[in-house]
Amino acid sequence: MDNQAAPGVASPLPPLSGLLPAEIVESCSLDKSFQGKQIFKWIARGADSFGLMTDLSASLRSHLAKSFRVRSSTIGERLADGDGTVKIALALADGNVVECVLLVDSEGRKTACLSSQVGCPMGCVFCRTGQLGFARNLEASEIVDQFLVLNAEFGPLQNIVFMGMGEPLLNLDAVRKAIAILTHADGLGLSRRRITLSTSGLVEGIRDLADNGPDVRLAVSLTAADPAVRTPLMPITRSNPLPELREALLYYQEKTKDRITLEAVLIGGVNTAPGDVDALRAFIDGLQVTMNLIPWNRVPGMDFKEPTRQELEDFESMLEEKGIQFTQRARRGRGVSGACGQLGTVLKKKSPA
């Protein structure tokens, strides 16, 4: 690779993976606009070296290699689970590390789970990433790089979920830029309707998304609709109360006409009682939603319990009685701490060579 920074060593060379074609032309002072499209297409195809861009002149490739990087990050640890999940740690130029995950469902469909921040400031007590603390927002290039790495090795991938490390609505400018790059017709050309953004419930961010896009699918990590239950689990409830969150979702639905996914991390003995279902029913009144049930995944050092099979069945029966639509997320990636709530967990198990 050309002039990629060693992990932990900041590179003075700017990356091009976070730029659109016209921006590449301007940043690289190119004589011809089509050269920006050429470079953009090569990056989208997975080229991590200017030397691979064979339809560019040798002199231009040499100039680019001396002045720019293709990507802003390098591949670190790689962990593979038997269910097809792969978690990859990317080393950033400043020494930070961020994780992305390849998810494969029972029908073989592949999804990239991307991170938007290093760590997370939300502090959800059942989530490993939330307990790491917050380092910084990711740049657009660092978000795009995650998809490029996964797509180059396991693609083509059609689906993206912003459900990795961090709160995407706190880094919305960079997320918007990354989505613009990944959906650009001269590059990967992904459909925005195959991209899901998951938030812990930032009211102003949801309204901003409704007003200014991008037009992607919205998922909200609700977990509980009773403030007495949700607040200790998700401290964001104090600054973004459930009534205000509900009004923001109604506003989003009115503006976009889209169905919203409400995610509920189910914790044994914590949020699976009849009263929790009653609170959910009241919260979703007037909303077009589907509940995505996520049995809590064990994290070392946390005292929570996974819900029992009977507990899950009883909870689902109560949802059915209340007329609440739901799906249950398949539990994949737990062998490499790549499942929901586990990112940032240090493991020694490595993938086969």
The set of catalytic residues is 99, 340
For 141, which DSSP code?
H
Total residues found in the chain within this entry:
353
d(CA 5, CA 102): 24
Question: Which conformational region is residue 177 in: left (phi greater than 0), alpha (psi within -120 to 50 degrees), or beta?
Answer: alpha
**Spatial separation of the C-alpha atoms in residues 249 and 293, rounded to whole Å:** 19
Q: Can you tell me the distance from the alpha carbon of 160 to that of 179, in angstroms, rounded to the nearest whole number?
A: 10
Which residue is it, tokens 């991938």?
157
E strand map for the chain: 73-80, 86-92, 97-104, 110-113, 117-119, 134-137, 159-162, 195-199, 217-221, 260-266, 289-295, 326-328
3 state SS of 52 = helix
Do 100 and 87 form a contact (C-beta atoms < 8 A)?
yes
Q: Is 321 exposed, middle or buried (0-12, 13-18, 19+ CB in 10 A)?
A: exposed
